[in-house]
Structure 1
Amino acid sequence: MHRLVPILAVLLLSCPVLAEDADLASLFTQADREGTLVLSSLRTGETIVHDDARAQRRFSPASTFKIFNTLIALDAKAIAGADDRFIWDGRHHDIPDWNRDQTLASAFKVSCVWCYQVLAQRVGAETYREAIRRAGYGTLSEPFALTELWLDGSLRIGAIEQIDFIKQVVRRTLPLSSHAYDTLGDIMVVEQTPDWTLRAKTGWSVRSTPSVGWYVGYVETHDDTWIFAMNLALKDRADLPLRAALTRDALRVKGIID
């Protein structure tokens, strides 16, 4: 038993303390939405959270998986770079932006599902299986549909796990090519100012009730990098802007962006 005490102490010290934050809670109360938001400093390890229980709960990543999917596809040489093109086959999609040829950069920006399904066919199931396992990216149920795994609930991940994954991306600790990391960094940029750069990806999991909206990414400032992951229950399409809006409000409240 005495031998277990130092082991337990090490485990406790190695686990981040997630402080329930009143400022973040107030933002969700004002929006009248159920959700979670996690912010974590890459430099200090400080991690603050609203709704720790939900932050641990796994959901389909939806289009936030495009962050990892892009890295995997580039590393596997399933696509060469940001300007490589996908040729639209003429099939109509409900989202007008999808009904045209795309580059990798534009496909990422408009969350073009058919483009990433093309990439999935090129990458193959075993490459995904191994990459997801190696990164600790949530859980992947077997068997899974290759072109639907990030949409149909086969792949599930929590906000805390998203934070851990993005930290690996920023630190470049996953065994992937520099070209993959560089290209992803370019196409993830949402906004740049003299003081900070915001990189992020939205997601919307519509195959659950209620549907789940995601916003995942990071902000680089002069002296730190803050990782964020949020998800919330959406009532309808009109709620979609809340994903980025609540996150930006939280980053402002905490003095990370202006």
Structure 2
Amino acid sequence: MIRIFPILALLMLTLASSAFAEDADIARLFKEKSVQGTMVISSLDGAITYRHNDENAVARMLPASTFKIPNTLIALEEGILADEKQVWKWDGTDRGVAAWNKDQTLESAFKSSCIWCYQELARRVGTERYNAWLTKLQYGNSQAYPQVDNFWLEGDLRISAVEHITFLKRVYRREFPFKATSYELLKKLMVIEQTPIYTLRAKTGWAGFGISTAPQIGWYVGYVETIKGVWFFAMNMNITTPADAGLRQKLVMEALKVKGII
């Protein structure tokens, strides 16, 4: 009699150990740019996943402005944000970033990562509602502490690259109890580039921005819709100089190209 079960067990163990083997192509891109970080790229159904630096891929970190993705949906659902016509009036205070020193629309606030705009929203949402939503969304460790207006910037909230992928897929599938209009508005806000062959939607983040004593971690998360399917990505990297910030998008785009996705 053929001993099927031991063979199957060995096969499953082999597949499990190699499922997220280091992707040589993406590793090379990071090495060429002398960057320390991680990247995960996954098809919508999860049948194909590419990872660089598996240990860092599951390490939870502050989401910084990538949190504007769920934050926008939460604020819309709670009625704090009415629609895309939302306007924040600048109070004249120098916020340290030229793009923030002016009145903001929802689109400009989202795309420029306007911290003071979303801090105003956060104070109106409140800790109790945030914790309820974060638990419902299973967003990282779901901790909206200690301060309601900076828990995603300096506080306790943490999420990994792998968890970002899971969350983004659920947003894409509209698995959460948000209105269809909220999902549609978020899709519009996230558009980075549209070409005849793909549409890229994404959000940057920079944990530690403006805080010299804090670790500087850059994020880029999102998804790309192509004629061959939908692919999700999440990357983070150590930022050692301000010039490194631009490498977040560059690394993702080069990785999507080298894997034949775009």
TM-score (norm 2): 0.90
Residue 81 of structure 2 aligns to which amino acid in structure 1?
A: I
2:107 aligned partner: 105
Instruction: Report Cα offsets for 1:214-246 as digits up to 9, x if no partner.
Output: 000000112311000000011011100000000
Aligned mate of 1:229, from 212, 227, 234: 234
1:56 aligned partner: 58
1:46 maps to 2:48: yes
1:164 aligned partner: 166
2:152 aligned partner: 150
- Separation (CA, whole Å) in 1 of partners of 2:53 and 2:131: 30
**Residues 143 and 252 (structure 1), Cα distance of their counterparts in 2 relative to 1, 3 Å cut:** closer
- Separation (CA, whole Å) in 1 of partners of 2:47 and 2:150: 34
Residue 37 of structure 2 aligns to which amino acid in structure 1?
A: G
Contact 1:151 1:205 (C-alpha < 8 Å) held by counterparts: yes
Asked which structure has the greater CA Rg, the reply is 2
Unaligned runs of 5+ in 1: 1-7
TM-score (norm 1): 0.91
- Separation (CA, whole Å) in 1 of partners of 2:253 and 2:202: 11
Aligned mate of 1:96, from 95, 98, 103: 98
1:85 maps to 2:90: no
Aligned positions of 1:1-258 closer than 5 A: 17-141=19-143, 143-206=145-208, 209-257=214-262
**Residues 31 and 89 (structure 1), Cα distance of their counterparts in 2 relative to 1, 3 Å cut:** same
Instruction: Report Cα offsets for 1:44-77 as digits up to 9, x if no partner.
Output: 5311100000001111000000011111111111
Query: Size of the alignment, in residue pairs?
Result: 250
Unaligned runs of 5+ in 2: 1-8
* SS at 1:155 equivalent: coil
Compute the displacement of 1:14 (Å).
10
Compute the displacement of 1:39 (Å).
0.2
Query: What's the Cα RMSD here?
Result: 2.3
Q: Tell me the percent identity.
A: 49
**Residues 231 and 83 (structure 1), Cα distance of their counterparts in 2 relative to 1, 3 Å cut:** same
- Separation (CA, whole Å) in 2 of partners of 1:44 and 1:156: 23
* SS at 2:219 equivalent: strand
**Residues 143 and 155 (structure 1), Cα distance of their counterparts in 2 relative to 1, 3 Å cut:** closer
Contact 2:217 2:236 (C-alpha < 8 Å) held by counterparts: yes
Contact 1:82 1:187 (C-alpha < 8 Å) held by counterparts: no
Contact 2:134 2:143 (C-alpha < 8 Å) held by counterparts: no
* SS at 1:249 equivalent: helix
